[in-house]
Structure 1
Amino acid sequence: MTIVPQETDLNILIVEDNRDDVDLLMYRLRKSFKSVSYTHVSTLEQYLEAVRHLANGKLDRTSYNIIISDWAVPGYDGFVALQALQDVDETIPFIVVSGTIGEPTAVALIKAGAYDFVLKDQSAHLPYIITKALEWADQRRIEQEQRRQIEMQTKALSCSPIAMAILDNEGTFEWINPAYEVLTGWTLAELKGHPLWE
């Protein structure tokens, strides 16, 4: 799905201790997106409380579709904040906007799961980065749903009392369910890679 900024509603959780930076950020984003609403927190405790509300279902999980965090907030740890978010929802992009973050720290954050980082003096690029982050989030949600469907189908097939086997295009065993093992006495380890006619 292609995200069009002028048609996109943003609801952002912002972690920032400088109110002027929040106002500047909102000014930039409101020029690019259809509508922008936000919640502003300035401490790690306030941030964790907002994330706990997501975990407890007090807020709709889609209520924040992006998190923008400064790095240099007193008493705040971006790695702790990122992990707290991932424990609740891995599809909400976490973007660091900072004037003080060094490249090694930025790379470590991205490796830990942050979507991206932007230097404050380059924040004009933020609307483009947010657009790409929202597309990434949509794709992650689709992939998660596909994984859930596969897991449910696998459980259903595994629990079925009917013997079932999955073969590849050449008739070679790929998978069998427990009922197949009971009926034939063969295990998947014994059959996998062997053709049915053997």
Structure 2
Amino acid sequence: MKKVLVIDDDTFMCDLIVNHLKQNNFEAKGTYTGRNGIKLIEKNNFDIVLCDYRLPATDGFKILQELKSKKPLLPVIIMTAYAEVRMAVKLIKSGAYDYITKPVQPEELLRIINKALESTDERETSNSFREKFITGKSKAIQGVMQHVKVVAPTDLTVLIEGETGSGKEYVAKAIHYASKRSKKPFVAVDCGAIPKDLANSELFGHIKGAFTGAINNKVGYFEQAKGGTLFLDEVGNLSYENQVKLLRALQERFINKVGDNKVIKVDVRVITASNDDLLKLVETNEFREDLYHRLNGFKIHLPPLRERGEDMLEFASFFIEQANRAFEKSVEGIDEDAKKLMFKYNWHGNIRELQNVVNRAVLLSKSDVIQADVLPDEIRFNNLQTGGRQNNFSGHRDVKELKEATLITEKEVITNALIESNYNKSKAAKILNIDRKTLYNKINQYDIEI
């Protein structure tokens, strides 16, 4: 029986979820504070954690960071209000498995938990991957797939750049399954979820006694991917020391386990991905230039969903079919009003966000088509900026005083800069042409969630 920890300060909701999980053959335990949640995780072997984003004295992001430092492989699902979806995307970049929007739908919750708990021993095959992989028909994605076709038969290292949720891992798998290594393992590693002090052990392995806590020998990801493909997602998050060791492994084709001088030859193809422009990180000395050139044997830029409008309905139809099977529903499509709203929306979380929206809409639909009333408020009442850093005052018609309007505008500009910089406060300060201290003061003044 799988063990689930639920962390939510809403005692009624926490108890409700725990009881629902128990009724569905899970061993579930709830706690109302993040601090107590951390203590429970230290003392117990949970298989998965379900954590609310807004908690007293802390938040889901801090809890996630602490959890990943203690148990980097423990899947964490964040519960969040839909208006916080961009924050949920940031959490996924930091290692969360997925997010679920409130109010939580029981069937959707079970689907996400079961998906996260799928056995890693169940090897994906080329055929099963093709059943789950759709590309779309837009000119932008067809160009990407042409590049996949060209580079797959080679052993070139590939760098995939694209926003979070845009499908970088699927493109990496498409390359793997079209290559000569397709019958060997495909090992995916989220570099953003590995604590810096454990990265060498995770990538290269360690021997018993190599450091405090190394009670057994460990096989690293490079060895796990022997003969196949190693996919390093968010490679820009690796520390300088880890970058040096990765460069050495790529150049010399051998590794050393932590605590062992024995040389181990490795035969893997490395594909990396980043939601940041690595070349800009090179220019700011945040990423090694020699490693960048080693990884950039062949670059593929994956466009965001908002630049692939014609593909959105194809993805939505595919997700509707999946949701119908999961929830035993019979939704046939999307009505015209709902389509118009979806085309106007910016899709900050890209394909992953679209899938979550479709799952929720199918679950809530009372008719055979998805209608506008089952779409989340952020899509139905879309007062967000859709063209860069422009302000939209349609949600502030009751503002009369100039001073109040100025404050609203300033808050929106700061929020936009944080989003544009992926919540990197140093970069946001540069965009706004202010110093970091002023930015921190403004964030506190306007109570901006970061």
- For the aligned pair, the TM-score class normalised by the smaller chain equals 0.5 to 0.7
Counterpart contact for 2:14–2:32, Cα < 8 Å: no
CA distance in 2 between partners of 1:130 and 1:75 (Å): 27
Query: Counterpart in 1 of 2:220?
Result: 147
- Kindly report which structure 2 residues correspond to 1:120-159, keeping only aligned pairs within 5 A, or say none: 120-124=102-106, 125-135=108-118, 146-147=219-220, 150=223, 154-155=255-256, 159=262
Q: Tell me if structure 2 keeps the 8 A contact 1:13–1:67.
A: yes
1:91-170 matches, within 5 Å, as 91-99=73-81, 102-124=84-106, 125-135=108-118, 146-147=219-220, 150=223, 154-155=255-256, 159=262
Question: CA separation in 2, counterparts of 1:166 and 1:78?
Answer: 38
Give the deviation of 1:77 after TM superposition: 1.6
Q: 2:68 aligns with which of 86, 109, 114?
A: 86
Tell whether the 8 Å contact from 1:16 to 1:73 is kept in structure 2 after alignment.
yes
Q: Which amino acid aligns with 2:220?
A: R
Inter-partner Cα distance in structure 2 for 1:92 and 1:166: 27
Do 2:255 and 2:265's aligned partners in 1 also have CA atoms closer than 8 Å?
Answer: no
Matching residue of 2:8:
16
**2:110 is the counterpart of 1:37:** no
Report Cα offsets for 1:8-44 as digits up to 9, x if no partner: x221121111221123213432343xx3223322223
Relative to structure 1, the CA distance from residue 117 to residue 78 in structure 2 (aligned partners, 3 Å threshold; closer, same or farther) is: same
Question: Matches of 1:106 and 1:136 in 2, distance apart?
Answer: 25
Partner of 2:295: none
Over the aligned positions, Cα root-mean-square deviation in angstroms equals 3.5
Per the TM alignment, residue 137 of structure 1 is displaced from its structure 2 partner at its CA by 6.2
Q: Give 5+ residue unaligned stretches, structure 2.
A: 123-185, 188-201, 203-217, 225-253, 268-450
Q: Which has the higher contact order (CA 8 A, sep 6+)?
A: 1
Contact 2:80-2:88 within 8 A present in 1 as well:
no
- Kept after mapping to 2: 8 A contact 1:97/1:123: no
How far residue 114 of structure 1 moved from its aligned partner, in angstroms, is 0.5
Q: CA deviation at 1:120?
A: 2.5
Q: How many Å apart are 1:70 and its aligned residue?
A: 0.9
Rounded Cα–Cα distance in structure 2 between residues aligned with 1:38 and 1:89: 19
Mean Cα deviation higher: 97-106 or 85-94: 97-106
Q: Name which of 36, 39, 47 aligns with 1:65.
A: 47
Does the residue aligned with 1:98 lie in a helix, a strand or coil?
Answer: strand
Deviation at 1:89, TM superposition (A): 1.6
Read off the aligned partner of 1:105 and give its amino acid letter: M
Describe the shift of the 1:166–1:126 C-alpha distance in structure 2 as closer, same or farther (beyond 3 A).
closer
| Change in CA separation of 1:47 and 1:19 when aligned onto 2, cut-off 3 Å | same
Q: Supply the distance in 2 between the matched residues of 1:48 and 1:100 (Cα, whole angstroms).
A: 25
Cα pair distance change 1:165/1:97, threshold 3 Å:
closer
Q: When the two structures are superposed, what TM-score results if normalisation uses the length of structure 2?
A: 0.28
**1:45-80: CA deviation from partner (whole Å, max 9, x where unpaired):** 2123234x2xxxx44xxx200100111222222111
Distance 2:266 2:120 in 1: 33
Distance in 2, matches of 1:21 and 1:40, equals 10
Q: Which amino acid aligns with 1:30?
A: K
SS of residue paired to 1:117? strand
Kept in 2, the 8 Å contact 1:11–1:65? The answer is yes
Contact 1:72–1:101, Cα closer than 8 Å, also in 2? no
Question: Unaligned 5+ residue runs, structure 1?
Answer: 1-8, 168-198
Matched residues in 1 for 2:119 and 2:83: separation? 24
Structure 1 position 46 matched with structure 2 position 36: yes
Q: Number of matched residues?
A: 143
Q: Using the aligned pairs only, state the percent identity.
A: 25
Three-state SS of the structure 1 residue aligned to 2:117 is helix
Distance 1:19 1:136, change over 3 A: same
> What's the counterpart of residue 409 of structure 2?
none
What residue in structure 2 maps to residue 196 of structure 1? none
Q: Which whole-Å deviations, capped at 9, do the CAs of 1:127-169 have from their partners, x for residues lacking one? A: 1111111127668xx9666526839x95489537xxx9899xx
2:103 is paired with a residue of what secondary structure?
A: helix
